[in-house]
Amino acid sequence: MELDTIICNCRGVTAGMIKEAVEDGAKTLEEVQEKTGAGTVCGGCLSEVERLVEEFVAEGTNN
């Protein structure tokens, strides 16, 4: 997935913004929501946001 792909249309949050939040210390969906606002309006992207958080956290622990 491209990092400029918009994941949360309501808040305009991209995959890259989610990755940055994880790199800045967010390790859970709730922490990423707090940093980015992703998934806090309609909730339609929550499953994708959560999947990306898990993926980026796992990448960080493998480096």
pTM for the complete prediction? 0.94
Predicted confidence (pLDDT) at residue 2 exceeds the cutoff of 70? yes
How far is 13 from 58, CA to CA, in rounded Å?
20
Report pLDDT digits (tens) over 7-57. Answer: 999 999 999 999 999 999 999 999 999 999 999 999 999 999 999 999 999
- pLDDT score recorded for residue 63: 64
Residues 1/19, Cβ–Cβ less than 8 Å: no
Domains of the chain: 6-61 (1.10.10.1100)
Q: What local confidence, expressed as pLDDT, does residue 62 receive?
A: 79
- Element of type H or E holding 15: helix 15-23
Local confidence band at 1 (pLDDT 50, 70, 90 cut-offs): confident
